[in-house]
Amino acid sequence: MRNALTALVLFAWVCAWGAWAGEGAAPDSDFPPRVVKTEPAYGEKDVDFSLKEIKVTFDRPMQTEKAWSWIIHENLGVYPGFRGGPEPRWENDGKTCVLPVKLSPDTVYAVGVNSVRHSGFKDAGGKVAVPHVWVFKTKKAK
């Protein structure tokens, strides 16, 4: 229950931050980096369960040398990542990190980046990114 409350508080804070900072606003180096896009999007339903990777995009270039903290939120949904597969990777823009996933039909997934204890996502200057959690659901099998 405590984890769910923490996740909800963090999510509300991130939403408020996004509304305050404005979509598409140039990043302000006085503030920490933040997530500006997730693929799939938060709350998206009918996600194709054959999808092999999910993405998170930040508002500025990030440290890209094995620097990430993908967070499990079992109380909100199933974690889509898996052990023994390819490692996460960064796209060439340095803003988008890609997590290889294995998805199942008709399942709610939850994943986060950074947390109070895990702060691997940092901008190029070393400033820790604001924690972000998102959930999505895969479509039913035919």
Question: Rounded to two decimals, what is the model's pTM?
Answer: 0.81
Query: Using one digit for the tens of pLDDT, what is the confidence trace for 76-95?
Result: 999 999 989 899 999 999 99
What is the CB-side half-sphere exposure of residue 141 using CA atoms within 13 A? 5
Of 24 and 118, the one with more pLDDT? 118
pLDDT of 5 above 70: no
Residue 2 has a pLDDT of 52
Query: In the chain, where do the E strands start and end?
Result: 35-39, 53-58, 70-72, 89-90, 96-100, 108-113, 132-137
**Which domains does the chain possess?**
2-21+33-137 (2.60.40.1220)
CB atoms under 10 Å from CB of 9, counted, come to: 10
